[in-house]
Each structure stands twice: as structure tokens, then as C-alpha cells.
Amino acid sequence: MTQTPFSTDNLSRFYINGAWVTPSSDRGFPVLNPATEQKIGDIRLADVQDVNAAVAAATTAFESFSMTSKAERLQLLERFLEVCRRRAEDLARAISMEMGAPMTMSRDEQAASGIGHLESFIDALRDQPEREDLGNGDTLLREPIGVCGLITPWNWPINQIALKVVPALATGCCCVLKPSEHTPISAMIYAEMIDEAGYPKGVFNLIQGDGAVAGSAMSGHPDIQMMSFTGSTRAGAAITKNAADTVKRVTLELGGKSPNLVFADCDIDAQVAASVQECMFNTGQSCDAPTRLLVERSIYERALEVAKATAESMSVGDPAKEGDHLGPLFDKLQFDRVQSMIETGLAEGARLLTGGLGKPDGFETGWYVKPTIFADVRNDMRIAREEIFGPVLVVLPFEDEAEAIQIANDTPYGLAAYIQTGDPARAERVARRLKAGAVHINGGAVNFGSPFGGYKQSGNGREGGTHGLEDYQELKTLHHP
């Protein structure tokens, strides 16, 4: 086990081949606290030589780690779980500092997701057979695909790292992780935890970098057999194109503009309020947030009253403090984009129900945004079609079930959808018509171990549980005489 290097004064190291090393690149990048706008420290952005070093370490390690037994890998995962539980508070504080999640939410949701996913992958691996009799005399083997390149986003940093790194380790793959350059600290702590758990050198490698250089070098690398990416649809398309020449497997979890269908037979007050809260959760920075609220015309005005009151009851606050409040957006780049989209909504003629341009009173410092709702939105407006990724909800009326389904599916995305109804038969009927990878019925939440992923331009492949393991495995058929 190597000596722990973590300090905000020492962010410029990469974890390669079981050691913390000085990068080849001298290109720096400042890491900022989004609540204070102050610099936390500087990272190095990897160059091609850094990527090559990490891939070489993983390639060498794969020769032996791919041959480990399931029992050996389960033992390592159980040891890793012990470390994760002990260091959960470190992760929560890092996430709060680097991307602005309020401490209570960062602890209970952000950091906790790493533990929940790890536990579910342990269960899935334990239950998955390594050999399977096909019933025709042949035998099916499940084997690790190889070296995996993993690129994760800033909005749910540990959630997405766990959904990629853990199945790689569980199946016997080796990997190179490139987290978002905006959230490097939680990833460094994660590397420390893997090191402490006792994984062989080279099995897991961490570099920091941007998409243009490090991401491109990874997706086109001939010695990487699989790329798993979470982020924008634009970047996902670029990775897929760059990976094509080496015919590697590519799994993508991309954007969303998830519809939330509210029917007149639901508990209007409770379910509309919960829908607004779900949209604003994580300051609206979730790819599957229900950002399009589709409301049956007969209850439209009442739903607007509830939505407005709910948003105006929300408070923003310092993410370093405990409590149920919204933190800032992660960066000035995102703040400017959200402000621009609010301006667009106003220009398109949508009715501003609450919120709007500018920062909340008393929050001149930090990338805080007012919880904002637009009413009387048409589905051809940009604010109804483009992912805003902030605390902005658009509300659209519909006449009947058929129109609700038509509006819901009229989007290039298909990550998630939501239904609020008191009729179980309607819920099942509508859910089958919605083109989305997950449908949340009356507040049903995502559970650890269930597959997560989308239709259409929301990506391909599934993360989580047994289905998440399968993306990291090759199938080999033994034909016996």
C-alpha cells in the first residue's frame, strides 16, 4: 500500500501502476469552489504520454488480474467496501467543496451512492455464473473484456465512478479512469481507497485531463478494448466516432429532457410538489431530472399554483452547511449557460412563473441560480427541447392521454420519464408507450442494482447490477465433441 498523498496542496499527481506519480504534462487547470469562487488548487491535464503510461500499466496488469477467480475478486470488493464505508465522510466533504452539493445531500446521496452501488455489484457478481451449460452440449463462459477507459462527469462524481470502476474490477478488467477535470478531489480519494483495499498495481489507474486531449487519446487507443462514458450527447458521439477505427465497445450514458406526465386523477398537491422538488434536486444538475412537467388541462392552473409555491419555498445556501437547501451550480460556465437559457425562454414567449435571471438576493458570490419555472411552454421551444442542467422547470398542458404520450416522446432523448396518476392500469399502459430507459411511477425512485440507461440519444448500454457487469464481459462458447 502506497502512502496517502491526498491534500488540496497536492492535486497534481496521477495514480498509475500502483503509485502516485508526477505527470508528463505540465499543463495546469485550476479547481474552483463554486460557492466561494476561490481556487482550491491546480491539477495537471494529461497529455498523450500520460495516457499511454496508464494504459500500459493496465495492459500489463490484465495478464494476471484477468485470471483471478471470482472468489478472489469478491474478497477484494468486500475489503474495498470496508474502506468506502470508513471514508464516506471524506468523499462527502470533497464533493461538496468541488461541485457545490450541500453537505447533507452530499453525504446522504452523493457519497452514499458509491457504497450502494458497490454492495449491489457484489451481490450481482456473487449470483452470476462464470460457466453456463447451454443445454445443447456447449458451455458459455463469461470473461473480462480487457482494458477499459472510463470517463465520468462532475454532477454525480462518485455515483458515476462507482458505476464504471466497480464492474470493471468485479469482472477482472483493468481500467484507466479520467474523471471530470472539475471534480478531481473525490476521484483522488477513490484511488486512495482502491489502493488501501489492496488491488494489484496497474489494475486501477487515475489520470486527470480534458476531453480534447486525454479523452480523445483514450477513445482512440488501440490497447483499450472498451470505453464507458457519461456526459453530453455531443461528447458521446465524438467518442464513438473516435473509437470506431479500433472497433472497441462503447457504452454511453448521455443527456436527457425527461417528461413528467401529471394526470388529473393523481394527488395534485402532493405529487406536483414532489415533482418540482425532484426537478430541482442537485440544483437541477441530474441527467434524468424531470424537467418537462406535462399537466392535464383540467388541473393545469391548480398545478401551476402548487409548482410556484413549492419553488418559492425552496432556499439556496452555503453547501458547506447542513440542511435541505440548493447549492450553487458547479461552475461559471454552467451559470452562464443557464442564464442564457432563461433569457431564451423569455424571448420565446414562455410565461415566467417564478425565479428568472440573476442570482438570489444575498448570494452575489458563488454560482447560485434562482429556482425557475416557465408556464405555457410549447414543446417546440428551445427550453423544452434542450438540456438546461440547472434548476429550471418548464410546464406544458395536454388534453388527453394520447397527446401526453405524443409530447413526452417528442424529444431526441430517452433517459427517463415520470408518471403521476391514481390509476394503476393507466400507469402501466402509458409506461409501455414511453420511449425511455426508466419510468418512475408516482415517485418511484432509482434502486441500486437496477439497470440505468437510455433510449435514443440518451445513450446505449446499461449501468448497475447484473446488466452493468455484462457490459464489461465477453462471451466465449466452448463447443465440445
Angstrom distance (rounded) from CA 401 to CA 384: 19
**Continuous segment of H or E residues that includes residue 301:** helix 300-313
Q: Does the residue 274 lie in any domain? A: yes
Q: Does the residue 427 lie in any domain? A: yes
- The verdict on 362 and 377 lying in the same domain is yes
- The verdict on 44 and 94 lying in the same domain is yes
- C-beta neighbour count of 109 within 10 angstroms: 18
Exactly one of 253, 278, 296, 463 is catalytic; name it.
Answer: 253
What phi and psi, each to the nearest 5 degrees, are found at residue 142?
Answer: -110, 120
Angstrom distance (rounded) from CA 314 to CA 335: 19
- The verdict on 238 and 311 lying in the same domain is no
Q: Is 130 a catalytic residue?
A: no
- The verdict on 282 and 407 lying in the same domain is yes
pTM for this model (two decimals): 0.96
The residues facing 396 across adjacent strands are: 294
The residue written with cell numbers 455484462 in the block is 470
Number of domains in the chain: 2
User: Of 5-14, 73-82, 118-127, 260-269, which gets the smallest average pLDDT?
Assistant: 5-14
Q: The domain containing residue 372 runs over which residues?
A: 259-447
- The verdict on 73 and 209 lying in the same domain is yes
- The verdict on 71 and 211 lying in the same domain is yes
Q: Does the residue 332 lie in any domain? A: yes
At 390, which CATH number?
3.40.309.10
Q: Does the residue 62 lie in any domain? A: yes
- The verdict on 79 and 181 lying in the same domain is yes
The residue written with cell numbers 442542467 in the block is 389
pLDDT in tens, 108-137: 999 999 999 999 999 999 999 999 999 999
Q: Does the residue 8 lie in any domain? A: no
pLDDT in tens, 369-415: 999 999 999 999 999 999 999 999 999 999 999 999 999 999 999 99
At 53, which CATH number?
3.40.605.10
Q: Does the residue 40 lie in any domain? A: yes
3-state SS, residue 376: coil
pLDDT in tens, 212-237: 999 999 999 999 999 999 999 999 99
- The verdict on 332 and 289 lying in the same domain is yes
3-state SS, residue 170: helix
- The verdict on 398 and 421 lying in the same domain is yes
Question: CB–CB of 122/73 below 8 Å?
Answer: no
Which residues, 6 or more positions from 445, have their beta carbon under 8 angstroms from its beta carbon?
none
pLDDT in tens, 21-79: 999 999 999 999 999 999 999 999 999 999 999 999 999 999 999 999 999 999 999 99
Angstrom distance (rounded) from CA 396 to CA 412: 17
What is the mean pLDDT of the segment spanning 162-187? 98
Q: Does the residue 184 lie in any domain? A: yes
- The verdict on 104 and 182 lying in the same domain is yes
- The verdict on 242 and 333 lying in the same domain is no
Q: How far apart are the first and last CA of the chain?
A: 47
Q: Does the residue 142 lie in any domain? A: yes
Helix axis angle for 70-86 and 184-197, nearest 10°, is 130
Burial group, residue 99, by CB count within 10 angstroms (0-12, 13-18, 19+): buried
Predicted confidence band of residue 4 (pLDDT cuts 50, 70, 90): very low
Got the DSSP string for 245-284? GGT-EEEEE-----EEEE-TTS-HHHHHHHHHHHHHGGGG
- The verdict on 388 and 287 lying in the same domain is yes
